[in-house]
Amino acid sequence: MPMEDALVLADVLRTADSVEAALGAYVRRRRPRADWVQEQSRAAARGWVLPPAVRNAALRERGDQMFRDRYRPLIPAA
């Protein structure tokens, strides 16, 4: 995420009329992504506090699919 932040910040600073406008544009562009990453972290944390037998059974049954579903937004459309 720091690399993404740097690229977006450089872009908005390059194209904005002022630093204040650039920072506003930066927040508007980055907030949805930051919120999404936080939610993914929370979802993962909820899974790790499940009783081990429940967690392990779910991972054995659906682990690959859960992983693909969670991180699908990171894969560019082909």
**Domain coordinates of the chain in residue numbers?**
2-74
Q: What pLDDT does 74 receive?
A: 79
Residue 50 sits at φ, ψ, to 5 deg, of: -65, 155
As to burial, measured by CB atoms within 10 angstroms (0-12 exposed, 13-18 middle, 19+ buried), residue 49 is exposed
Q: How many other C-beta atoms are found inside a 10 Å radius of the C-beta of residue 72?
A: 8
User: Would you state the pLDDT for residue 23?
Assistant: 97
Under-70 pLDDT residues of the chain = 78
* pLDDT at residue number 35: 93
**Token code pair at residue 20:** 């204040």
Task: Indicate yes or no: pTM above 0.85.
Answer: no
The predicted structure's pLDDT at residue 48: 84
CB 53 within 8 A of CB 17: no
